[in-house]
């Protein structure tokens, strides 16, 4: 190097300082904007720009140290030229006086790799953590508050970053300033981030498309991960790459991919330099590389042309049906080798005009967060028109347990079920109090697309399922509002799906000026009907009370059947007897007990009771038997008295004697009589009360005959 080399490094140091200040300014602006606007993409961009401060700081350090090393080398050369070294007391120290050179070597050996590792680790760690965090968010809701500022800041970053990157990349052509290419890579990375923000803001403001703006945090995070991985790959390759003597080491954060964007007019040269640098040999001098660099633009043009012509081919899968839109209007394919319908095309190969003049569209099944799901038209799609279904579980879900995270409650009429005797209905007549009830009902609607043209016309993509859901919820709300809570929970569960299906089909049929949305409803269900979780215990108490009531009624009926059966033999016969007794009582009040009709009716009831065979019949038969027994006894006594009276009248003396002696005979029956003379003066009777025969001879066959 000549004596003026230190001036070149001073110039590089100045440019590095400008880059550091510019990077710091962009970092601060983007950081505060992300806080104010709640822009997640800008927040990630501010972290990447902050890592760029480390890179520019390292470049400033290395160029300043180069400047010091050159100045130290110039002083050593001047000392050697003046001959003062021969008389110097330090003539034997040699390289020990080259302090700046040793520091420069230390920086290249340890500081630069450590800084590159720090930059790569921060980008990889932040990128992965942000992707994991945003993976659980609804990307359609990730939108900054001030989209206009997003466009302005992104556009400013893109312009300033690209212009400065081009300027620095041009300085990097000089060998002494080659490390400035790392700074140009950092600047072009900031420009790319600005392009992402600007494109997202422009699409949101001009066309209302927030897809790029919603996914920009993911895009920037993925870019940070890719940048960190490239730094790690550069470090690894630099270990095994052979180094030329006196070659200036290249920083690991000098991205080769970003370097191509910083100098697009020198793509071939940059690729050649990168290949030569990695392999340590002059690959660009080979015939293959010379041929490739000569025809590379033509090859790229041919590839782009073939890719553009490939957009004319449309392959429709077996489960798809779609439309060909030419300048926004439905058109027919140029050539068709597959199924063609009324305005739509089916499975097979079709040829259309190339993009952007013509494009193919198939309605897709939208996911929970609005992202496109399965691209199909014949697949079954589901709309939830009421409460959300519970998460899949293997155990039953009770009313007192949570069914879904957020439940939609529908208004229904209060219970109109009354008692069998309409007492409750009578008690509520004239009441003007309006009552309402709430129920959670799951109403899944399964449908398929039958006419893709009608389905494409009735709403814009992304809003078709939402429009069908809102119309269906209106129908479900109106229908449930007409039913009582008892009908929804119990009595109308089998008829509700059919009625809802007819009403929903009628409501959908009004779309497209009466042509319908081009779908067929396969199934409408009414599942998981339950009251709110807080009100479930009250319903359980009502159900328990009703069960107890029914139990008491059944017990009363059981007792009724038992009593009537025991009394009258059967329930039917008891009812018949009861009806006749009521009629008999009415007859008694009208014509009295003495009438012939009443007596005949009473006898008929009596015969019916006797025929029943129950306890009443048994009591009547027993009373009748007792009556006849007493009647005949009294009648016999009356006849005996009459005969005795006739005998007395015929011969009173004889009757009295007969009665006297009969009574005496009755009194002396089984008594001992002793006859004594009438003139006996004294009578002394001796009685031997000992039985002579105390037993019988068991061996005598004739013994005991006298006793028999």
In a domain, 279, yes or no: no
Residue 357 token pair = 């003049």
Q: Same domain, yes or no, for 49 and 170? A: yes
Structural domain total, the chain: 4
For β-strands 372-375 and 364-366, DSSP reports them as: antiparallel
Q: Same domain, yes or no, for 526 and 548? A: no
CA 435, CA 536: separation in Å to the nearest integer? 18
Residue 704 has pLDDT above 70, yes or no: no
In a domain, 226, yes or no: yes
Q: Same domain, yes or no, for 335 and 480? A: no
Q: Which domain holds residue 632?
A: 544-637
In a domain, 273, yes or no: no
What's the pLDDT score for residue 90? 46
The whole-number average pLDDT for the span 249-254 is 86
What's the pLDDT score for residue 390? 77
What's the pLDDT score for residue 371? 45
Q: Same domain, yes or no, for 117 and 237? A: yes
The CATH number for 382's domain is 3.30.479.30
Residues 129-163: pLDDT tens digits?
888 877 656 555 566 777 888 888 888 898 898 88
Contacts of 489 (CB under 8 A, 6+ apart): 439, 529
What's the pLDDT score for residue 675? 73
In a domain, 401, yes or no: no
Greater model confidence, 418 or 486: 486
Choosing from 613, 637, 661, the residue where a domain stops is: 637
What's the pLDDT score for residue 51? 93
CA 439, CA 412: separation in Å to the nearest integer? 7
Among the residue ranges 202-206, 224-228, 325-329, 422-426, the one predicted with the least confidence is: 422-426
Which pLDDT band holds residue 124 (cuts at 50, 70, 90)? very high
pLDDT > 90: percent of the chain: 12
What's the pLDDT score for residue 273? 64
In a domain, 227, yes or no: yes
The whole-number average pLDDT for the span 20-29 is 93
What would you report as the CA-atom Rg of the chain, rounded to the nearest whole angstrom?
58
Residue 45 has pLDDT above 70, yes or no: yes
What's the pLDDT score for residue 397? 73
The most confident of 117-126, 312-321, 477-486, 635-644, by mean pLDDT: 117-126
Residues 347-374: pLDDT tens digits?
888 888 887 788 887 766 554 444 445 5
Residue 586 has pLDDT above 90, yes or no: no
The most confident of 189-193, 405-409, 627-631, by mean pLDDT: 189-193
What's the pLDDT score for residue 427? 45
Q: Same domain, yes or no, for 124 and 217? A: yes
Choosing from 531, 564, 599, the residue where a domain stops is: 531
Give DSSP secondary structure letters for 420-478.
Answer: TT-HHHHHTTT------EEEEEE-EEEEEES-HHHHHHSS-TTTHHHHHHHHHHHHHHH
Q: Same domain, yes or no, for 198 and 171? A: yes
What's the pLDDT score for residue 372? 46
What's the pLDDT score for residue 393? 62
Greater model confidence, 467 or 426: 467
Q: Same domain, yes or no, for 262 and 352? A: no
pLDDT > 70: percent of the chain: 80
In a domain, 395, yes or no: no
Give DSSP secondary structure letters for 201-247.
Answer: HHHHHHT---HHHHHHHHHHHHHHHHHHHHHHHHHHHHHHS---TTP
In a domain, 650, yes or no: no
What's the pLDDT score for residue 287? 66
Among the residue ranges 328-337, 395-404, 638-647, the one predicted with the least confidence is: 395-404
What's the pLDDT score for residue 450? 80
Q: Same domain, yes or no, for 410 and 311? A: no
What's the pLDDT score for residue 121? 93
Name which of 332, 337, 361 is nearest 449 in CA terms. Answer: 361
First to last CA, the chain: 171
In a domain, 556, yes or no: yes
Among the residue ranges 88-92, 571-575, 637-641, 678-682, the one predicted with the least confidence is: 88-92
Contacts of 123 (CB under 8 A, 6+ apart): 48, 51, 224, 225, 227, 228, 231
The whole-number average pLDDT for the span 199-227 is 83
What's the pLDDT score for residue 229? 92
Residue 122 has pLDDT above 90, yes or no: yes
Q: Same domain, yes or no, for 453 and 492? A: yes
Choosing from 585, 616, 637, the residue where a domain stops is: 637
Residues 177-202: pLDDT tens digits?
888 889 988 999 999 999 888 888 88
CB 611 within 8 A of CB 603: no
Residues 295-314: pLDDT tens digits?
777 888 888 888 888 888 88
What's the pLDDT score for residue 26? 92
Among the residue ranges 166-175, 373-382, 579-588, the one predicted with the least confidence is: 373-382
Helix axes 40-81, 99-106, angle to 10 degrees: 150
What's the pLDDT score for residue 592? 77
Give DSSP secondary structure letters for 268-314.
Answer: HHHHHHHHHHHHSS-GGGSHHHHHHHHHHHHHHHHHHHHHHHHTTEE
Which pLDDT band holds residue 114 (cuts at 50, 70, 90)? very high
Which pLDDT band holds residue 28 (cuts at 50, 70, 90)? very high
Q: Which residues are bridge partners to 381 per DSSP? A: 447
Q: Same domain, yes or no, for 381 and 508? A: yes
What's the pLDDT score for residue 425? 46
Q: Which H or E element spans position 158?
A: helix 147-171
Residue 284 has pLDDT above 80, yes or no: no
Greater model confidence, 533 or 350: 350
Which pLDDT band holds residue 430 (cuts at 50, 70, 90)? very low
Residue 707 has pLDDT above 90, yes or no: no
Q: Same domain, yes or no, for 483 and 557? A: no
Mean of pLDDT over the chain: 78
Residue 589, classified by CB atoms within 10 Å of its CB into exposed (0-12), middle (13-18) or buried (19+), is exposed
Q: Same domain, yes or no, for 346 and 439? A: no
Residue 601 has pLDDT above 90, yes or no: no
Greater model confidence, 406 or 160: 160
């Amino acid at each position: 190097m000549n004596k003026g080399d230190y001036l070149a490094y001073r110039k590089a140091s100045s440019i590095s300082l400008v880059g550091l200040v510019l990077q710091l300014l962009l970092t601060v602006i983007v950081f505060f904007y992300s806080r104010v606007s709640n822009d997640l993409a800008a927040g990630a961009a501010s972290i990447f720009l902050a890592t760029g401060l480390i890179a520019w700081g390292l470049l400033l350090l290395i160029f300043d140290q180069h400047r010091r090393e050159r100045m130290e080398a110039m002083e050593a050369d001047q000392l050697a030229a003046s001959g003062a070294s021969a008389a110097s007391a330090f003539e034997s120290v040699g390289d020990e006086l080259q302090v700046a050179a040793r520091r420069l070597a230390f920086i290249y050996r340890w500081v630069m790799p450590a800084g590159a590792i720090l930059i790569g680790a921060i980008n990889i760690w932040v990128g992965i953590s942000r992707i994991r965090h945003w993976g659980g968010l609804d990307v359609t809701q990730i939108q900054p508050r001030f989209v206009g500022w997003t466009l302005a800041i992104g556009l400013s970053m893109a312009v300033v970053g690209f212009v400065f990157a081009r300027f620095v990349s041009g300085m990097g052509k000089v060998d002494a300033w080659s490390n400035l290419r790392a700074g140009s890579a950092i600047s072009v990375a900031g420009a790319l981030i600005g392009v992402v923000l600007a494109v997202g803001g422009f699409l949101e403001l001009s066309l209302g498309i927030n897809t790029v703006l919603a996914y920009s945090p993911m895009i920037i995070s993925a870019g940070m991960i890719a940048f960190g991985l490239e730094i790690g790959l550069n470090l690894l390759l630099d270990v095994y790459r052979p180094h030329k003597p006196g070659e200036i080491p290249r920083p690991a954060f000098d991205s080769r991919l970003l370097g191509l964007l910083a100098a697009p007019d020198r793509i071939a040269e940059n690729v050649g330099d990168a290949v030569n640098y990695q392999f340590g040999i002059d690959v660009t001098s080979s015939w293959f590389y010379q041929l490739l660099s000569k025809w590379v633009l033509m090859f790229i043009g041919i590839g782009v042309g073939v890719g553009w012509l490939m957009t004319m081919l449309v392959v429709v899968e077996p489960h798809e049906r779609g439309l060909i839109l030419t300048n926004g209007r439905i058109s027919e394919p140029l050539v068709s080798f597959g199924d063609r319908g009324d305005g739509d095309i089916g499975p097979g190969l079709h040829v259309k005009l190339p993009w952007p003049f013509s494009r193919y569209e198939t309605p897709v099944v939208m996911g929970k967060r609005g992202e496109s799901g399965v691209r199909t038209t014949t697949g079954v799609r589901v709309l939830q028109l009421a409460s959300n279904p519970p998460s899949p579980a293997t155990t039953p879900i009770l009313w007192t347990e949570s069914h879904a995270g957020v439940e939609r409650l529908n208004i229904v009429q209060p219970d109109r079920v009354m008692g069998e005797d309409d007492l409750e209905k009578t008690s509520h007549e004239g009441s003007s109090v309006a009552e309402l009830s709430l129920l959670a009902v799951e109403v899944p609607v399964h449908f398929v697309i039958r006419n893709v043209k009608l389905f494409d016309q009735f709403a814009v993509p992304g809003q078709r399922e939402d429009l069908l859901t809102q119309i269906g919820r209106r129908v479900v709300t109106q229908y449930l509002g007409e039913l009582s809570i008892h009908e929804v929970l119990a009595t109308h569960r089998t008829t509700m799906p059919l009625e809802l299906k007819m009403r929903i089909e009628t409501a959908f049929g009004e779309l497209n000026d009466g042509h319908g949305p081009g779908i067929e409803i396969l199934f409408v269900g009414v599942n998981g009907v339950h009251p709110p979780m807080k009100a479930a215990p009250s319903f359980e108490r009502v159900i328990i009370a009703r069960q107890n009531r029914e139990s008491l009624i059944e017990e009363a009926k059981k007792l009724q059947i038992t009593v009537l059966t025991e009394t009258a033999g059967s329930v039917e016969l008891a009812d018949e007897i009861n009806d006749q007794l009521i009629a008999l009582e009415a007859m008694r009040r009208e014509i009295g007990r003495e009438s012939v009709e009443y007596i005949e009716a009473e006898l008929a009831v009596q015969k019916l009771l006797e025929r029943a065979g129950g306890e009443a019949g048994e009591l009547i038969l027993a009373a009748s038997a007792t009556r006849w027994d007493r009647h005949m006894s009294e009648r016999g006594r009356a006849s005996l008295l009459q005969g005795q009276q006739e005998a007395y009248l015929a011969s009173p003396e004889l009757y009295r004697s007969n009665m006297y002696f009969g009574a005496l005979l009755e009194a002396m029956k089984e008594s001992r009589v002793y006859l004594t003379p009438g003139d006996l003066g004294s009578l002394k009777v001796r009685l031997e009360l000992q039985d002579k025969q105390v037993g019988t001879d068991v061996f005598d066959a004739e013994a005991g005959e006298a006793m028999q």
